[in-house]
Amino acid sequence: MDNPVIIFEKVNKNFYIQEEKTFKEFLPNLFLGKPWAKKVAALDDVSFKIFQGETVGIIGKNGAGKSTALKLIAGVTTPTTGKVIITGKVAPLIELGAGFHHELTGYENIFLNAAILGMHKKEIELKLDDIINFSELKDFIYAPVKKYSSGMYMRLAFSIAINTNAPLLLIDEVLAVGDEGFQKKCINYLQEVKKSGEKTIIFVSHSEQLVKDFCEKVILLDQGKMIAEGKPSEVFERYHHILKQDEENSKL
Amino acid sequence: MMLKLLIQPFLTHKYLLFQLTQRSIKARYKQSIIGYAWVLINPLAQLLVYTFVFSVIFKFPTNNIPYPVFLFAGLLPWIYLQNVLITATSSLIDNSDLIRKVYFPREILPYSVVLSKTIDFFFALSLLLIFMLAYQIPIGITILYIFPLFLIQIILMSGLSLIFSTFNLFYRDIQYLVPLLLLLWTYITPVVYALSLVPKTYVAIYKLNPMVGIIEGYRSALFNLPFDTGTIYWSFIFSVFVFLSGFIFFKKSEKVFADIV
């Protein structure tokens, strides 16, 4: 439990949002020396450590920097300043079918998607039955995924992600899509994984109940800053406080 | 260091490259009647029209090689180049969901385009073989020279794919610019006409186009004609330069792909 798998050290991440898109607007601004893009700090001096086998929830309002934090963990982007150190392979749960090709069958997509998540052919073949069984899509596995409902999509994506050999699992809100039965099954499965301590799970959700049930540690982000880190009940208290303040501010 | 960076993705992400290539090939014949045969129909249709225009109307001289065969030897690699560059240019944008979510060496995406179009190209080459047999053109040992030439073309196309796909991520104008460039490029390359038609005064400049050495080289190999070695060397040097600068540029920009896509 004492070796950190994710370390954020004073991480800052700035985005530049381009406003002038057309050349006609862009050119005069260039001559006038106006900045060509607006700076937005998505993460502002964030430091934390996540240890092997932990289940950590990241909460916050929309735009608080949750997705940016996940992106940094997944390694698709780099911090503007500061350090992000990740040990081990990461399996992000890809947005609904982003890694799928609509015309291909569920079966073909398993191989495609698992390859995207860094698996080799033999590893996938070994896990194939587990993936199909868990997704409950046995009867539809040779149908093109464009015929799938969004719930079926999610089930397949989820089954693939949890069956990768990656020790780090990122779950970004997607659980909300499946029906209640499957959702429960996923939670149960994740509980099992959690007990075994093999995987470190990062969980982003707006559902307080899910996070409280499931995570032993919660990180609260607000406007790019880390406000709190600790036990779910305590952190949620802070979160409710922030939400209440916002409500009062908007009334004024 | 650089060599390692260049080769490593082929070892660590070999299966992903294979899967992505397979995806684009499979996707083409799903929900389609003719499916994969489009790979052959496209060049055949162009062959028909070009043959009519340039051997019936214009009567281009082609060193006594029947025009359809002469044309195919240049047209098939040219269509190959066009397909690669147009598809590869948008390859990063088309997979923006993946770029935003999962890490893998990004060059796998343009490479997979080159690879899948290469498979198409090999299928289309069977047409050339049929035409050569039909016109009873002797197939000699020099035909093996098409492989090193083919390698030069792959290097050139991969380099351009890396450059165009990156630029297109920053400015979408590139995906409109590339087809235009290709159209203009067709006319300054000996695809539908022979190099011998180019006036002597312009030949030196004309040969700076790296595709001249490659296409003319294919013809020399197929029809057992003398090789213009100097021009082929130039194509090789130029292609390697394009690839290396493209690769460095791609790798330097890769870090911000997820932020701007």
Nearest-Cα distance to chain A for B248, in Å, is 18
CB contact burial A21-47 (16+ within 10 A = b; e otherwise) = eeeeeeeeeeeeeeeeeeeebbbbebe
Strand-pairing partners, residue A57, are A203, A218
Q: Does A103 contact B31 at a Cβ distance shorter than 8 Å?
A: yes
Q: Which of B13, B15, B23 sits opposite A104 (nearest CB)?
A: B23
What is this structure's pTM? Answer: 0.89
A40 contact residues in B (CB cutoff 8 A): none
> Residue B102: its chain A contacts at CB < 8 A?
74, 76, 92, 94, 99, 116-117
The CA distance from B234 to A70, in Å, is 47
* Contact B249/A at CB under 8 A: no
Q: What is the pLDDT along chain A (252 residues), one digit of tens a residue?
A: 568 899 999 999 988 776 656 666 666 666 666 666 678 888 999 999 999 888 999 998 888 888 889 889 988 888 999 999 988 878 776 555 567 888 889 999 999 999 988 889 999 999 999 999 998 999 999 999 889 888 888 888 888 888 887 888 888 766 666 677 887 888 888 888 888 888 898 988 888 888 888 888 999 999 899 999 999 989 999 999 988 888 888 877
Of A71, A94, A112, the CB nearest to B258: A71
Least CB–CB distance from B255: residue in A78, A94, A103:
A78
Complex ipTM above 0.85? Answer: no
User: B100: which chain A residues are within 8 Å (Cβ-Cβ)?
Assistant: 71, 76, 98
CA distance A74 to chain B (A): 6
Query: Whole-angstrom Cα distance, residue B20 to residue B116?
Result: 9
Beta bridge partner(s), residue A91: A169
Taking alpha carbons only, the member of A170, A128, A138, A176 closest to residue A154 is A176
Whether B141 contacts chain A with CB within 8 A: no
CA B62 to chain centroid, in Å, comes to 23
Taking CB atoms and an 8 Å cut-off, how many pairs form between chains A and B?
72
Nearest-CA distance B16 → chain A (Å): 5
